[in-house]
C-alpha cells in the first residue's frame, strides 16, 4: 500500500473550499491591531490570542529591532551548544522572578515547551493523569513519553479525577497535567480542588498557563494566581505567542527540575534557540505587563462585556467565564463554517473550530478578544452577530 494513499483520498478540505465556506489558512496582508486586512478586506479581529495587544506596541517592536541589529536574525544553533545568548539568560531570570519560581527555561515555541518538558519528567515508572480537554501540545508530550501510563479524567470534573487517581498504582510516580485556561472552552481549571487531590495522593501538579499568563490574577500570573494555589503547583508552563506578543514558551519550577529538563529535553537540545528578536520582545512585554495593569484591566472589561452581551442575545457560550476566550456553540460543522463565512463577509474574523479540536458534537465559533479593541469595534461585532444569529435561527 502506498503511504500517500490516505493523502489522495483526503477530499474534505477541497469540498469545503468549493462550497465557498473554507475558514482556514487565511493570509493577513496588513495588521492594524484590532483590525487586519484579509483578501483585500478590512475585518475586525476577534480571533487572535494577542490578548494585551502587545504585538503592535511600538516599544515591543523597537526592542525586537534593536536585538536583531545587535545579535543578527538567528542564533544558528541550539541552546545546548552555540545558541545561548545573554538575552536568553536574562529572560529566564526575569520569568523565574515573575512566576515566583527558582528557575525557568525557555523553548522556541510553546508547543515545544510541553513536548520537551512532559516526556522528560516521566518514564515507564510514572503515570500521567490529565484532563481530556487539554491542549494538543500536552497530548503530544504524553505520546512522546513512551512507556509512561496515561490516564484521563472528564473535562474539569474533579469527582472523576478523584475516581481515576484513586484507582492507579500509587507505587509509581504521579503527575496531574492540566491547562489553567482551556483554549477552546474558555473555562478555568478547578485548581483548588485539583491541588488538594494531588496532595492527598502524593502527585505532582503541572499547569499549562498559556491562556492565563498576563490575563488572570492580580499580577497576571495566570489561573494559579487567580485561584490562590501557586504554591501548590509544581511546574508552570506558558507560551509567548499570547499575552507576551512574541513566539516561544517556557517552563518554571524547582531549580533541580529545570536543570534536569535543560540537559535531557530533546526538543530543546536539538532545536535552534529562540531568535534575538522574539526574546527581546518577550522581555519588553514582560516589563509592560508588570508595570501597566491597565491593559489587563481593559481586557477584563471587554471579556465581561462581550460575555454578558452574547448571552443576552441568546447565544450558547457554555461554561466560559472570566477569560477573553468566549466560544459560541453551534454544534454542527457545516453550520459553523456557514456562520464563519457570513461573519467574515460582514467584516469580522473569528475561528471556526470542529473535530478533532473539539468533540464531534461540539463545533463552535471561537471568539477571543484583545485589549486594543475599541467600544465601537465591540458594538459592531455584536450587531453583526445578532443579524447572523437570527438569520440562522441560532438565537
Tell me which of 242, 270, 291 is where a domain ends.
Answer: 291
For 176, the 3-state DSSP assignment is: strand
314 falls within a domain: yes
Which residue, among 371, 304, 298, 322, has the nearest Cα to 188 in the 3D structure?
322
CATH number of domain containing 161: 3.40.640.10
Q: Are residues 266 and 307 in the same domain?
A: no
Q: Are residues 36 and 140 in the same domain?
A: no
370 falls within a domain: yes
Tell me which of 258, 276, 291 is where a domain ends.
Answer: 291
Distance CA 108, CA 121 (A): 19
What is the predicted pLDDT for the residue at 299? 98
Q: Are residues 220 and 361 in the same domain?
A: no
**DSSP one-letter code for 188:** B
Q: Using an 8 Å Cβ cutoff, are 65 and 282 in contact?
A: no
Q: Are residues 356 and 342 in the same domain?
A: yes
Q: Using an 8 Å Cβ cutoff, are 249 and 239 in contact?
A: yes
166 falls within a domain: yes
3 falls within a domain: no
2 falls within a domain: no
Element (H, E) at 14: helix 12-18
**Has this prediction a pTM greater than 0.75?**
yes
Which residue, among 275, 310, 283, has the nearest Cα to 382 in the 3D structure?
310
Q: Are residues 236 and 167 in the same domain?
A: yes
Q: Using an 8 Å Cβ cutoff, are 326 and 186 in contact?
A: yes
Distance CA 22, CA 18 (A): 8
What is the predicted pLDDT for the residue at 357? 84
What is the predicted pLDDT for the residue at 93? 98
CATH number of domain containing 351: 3.90.1150.10
Q: Are residues 151 and 26 in the same domain?
A: no
Which string of b and e fits 331-355 if b means at least 16 CB within 10 Å?
eebebbbbbbbbbbebebbbbbbbe
| Order of all β-strands in the sheet with 28-31 | 28-31, 35-38, 41-45, 348-349
Which residue, among 197, 169, 168, 166, has the nearest Cα to 178 in the 3D structure?
197
53 falls within a domain: no
Residue ranges, the chain, pLDDT below 70: none
Which residue, among 353, 336, 339, 352, has the nearest Cα to 390 in the 3D structure?
339
52 falls within a domain: no
Bridge partners of 151, per DSSP, are 129
The H-assigned helical ranges of 20-81 are 58-71
Distances (CA, A) of 190 to 207, 228, 315: 11, 11, 25
Tell me which of 224, 256, 291 is where a domain ends.
Answer: 291
Instruction: Supply 370's cell numbers.
Output: 484583545
Split into its structural domains, the chain has a count of 2
Q: Are residues 154 and 255 in the same domain?
A: yes
Q: Are residues 265 and 345 in the same domain?
A: no
Q: Are residues 195 and 279 in the same domain?
A: yes
Q: Using an 8 Å Cβ cutoff, are 126 and 142 in contact?
A: no
Q: Are residues 219 and 120 in the same domain?
A: yes
Which residue, among 144, 123, 191, 202, has the nearest Cα to 168 in the 3D structure?
202
**DSSP one-letter code for 274:** P
Domain that holds residue 106: 58-291
Pairing of strands 173-179, 149-153: unpaired
Q: Are residues 62 and 79 in the same domain?
A: yes
Distance CA 177, CA 115 (A): 13
For 148, the 3-state DSSP assignment is: coil
340 falls within a domain: yes
Q: Are residues 285 and 312 in the same domain?
A: no
Amino acid at each position: 500500500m502506498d503511504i500517500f494513499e490516505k493523502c489522495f483520498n483526503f477530499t474534505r478540505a477541497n469540498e469545503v473550499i468549493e462550497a465557498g465556506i473554507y475558514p482556514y489558512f487565511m493570509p493577513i496582508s496588513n495588521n492594524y491591531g484590532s483590525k487586519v486586512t484579509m483578501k483585500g478586506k478590512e475585518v475586525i479581529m476577534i480571533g487572535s490570542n494577542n490578548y494585551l495587544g502587545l504585538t503592535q506596541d511600538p516599544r515591543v517592536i523597537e526592542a525586537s529591532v534593536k536585538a536583531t541589529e545587535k545579535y543578527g536574525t538567528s542564533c544558528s544553533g541550539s541552546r545546548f551548544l552555540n545558541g545561548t545568548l545573554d538575552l536568553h539568560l536574562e529572560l529566564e531570570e526575569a520569568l523565574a522572578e515573575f512566576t515566583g519560581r527558582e528557575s525557568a527555561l525557555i523553548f522556541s515555541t510553546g508547543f515545544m515547551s510541553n513536548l520537551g518538558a512532559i516526556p522528560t519528567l516521566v518514564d515507564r515508572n510514572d503515570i500521567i493523569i490529565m484532563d481530556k480537554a487539554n491542549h494538543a501540545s500536552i497530548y503530544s508530550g504524553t505520546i512522546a513519553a513512551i512507556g509512561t501510563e496515561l490516564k484521563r479524567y472528564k473535562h474539569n470534573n474533579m469527582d472523576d479525577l478523584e475516581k481515576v487517581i484513586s484507582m492507579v498504582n500509587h507505587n509509581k510516580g504521579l503527575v496531574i497535567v492540566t491547562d489553567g485556561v482551556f483554549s477552546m472552552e474558555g473555562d478555568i481549571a478547578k485548581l483548588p480542588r485539583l491541588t488538594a487531590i494531588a496532595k492527598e495522593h502524593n502527585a505532582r501538579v503541572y499547569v499549562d498557563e498559556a491562556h492565563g499568563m498576563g490575563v488572570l490574577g492580580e499580577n497576571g500570573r495566570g489561573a494559579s494566581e487567580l485561584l490562590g494555589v501557586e504554591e501548590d503547583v509544581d511546574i508552570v508552563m506558558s507560551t509567548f505567542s499570547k499575552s507576551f506578543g512574541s513566539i516561544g514558551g517556557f517552563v518554571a519550577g524547582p531549580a533541580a527540575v529545570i536543570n534536569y529538563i535543560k540537559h535531557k529535553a530533546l526538543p530543546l537540545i536539538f532545536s535552534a534557540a529562540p531568535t534575538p528578536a522574539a526574546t527581546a520582545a518577550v522581555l519588553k512585554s514582560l516589563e509592560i505587563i508588570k508595570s501597566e495593569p491597565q491593559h489587563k484591566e481593559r481586557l477584563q472589561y471587554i471579556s465581561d462585556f462581550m460575555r454578558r452581551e452574547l448571552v443576552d442575545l441568546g447565544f450558547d457560550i457554555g461554561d466560559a467565564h472570566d477569560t477573553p476566550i468566549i466560544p459560541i456553540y453551534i454544534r454542527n460543522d457545516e453550520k459553523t463554517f456557514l456562520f464563519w463565512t457570513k461573519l467574515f463577509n460582514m467584516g469580522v474574523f473569528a475561528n471556526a473550530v470542529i473535530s478533532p479540536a473539539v468533540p464531534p458534537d461540539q463545533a463552535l465559533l471561537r471568539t477571543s478578544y484583545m485589549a486594543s479593541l475599541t467600544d465601537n469595534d465591540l458594538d459592531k461585532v455584536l450587531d453583526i452577530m445578532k443579524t447572523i444569529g437570527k438569520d440562522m435561527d441560532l438565537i
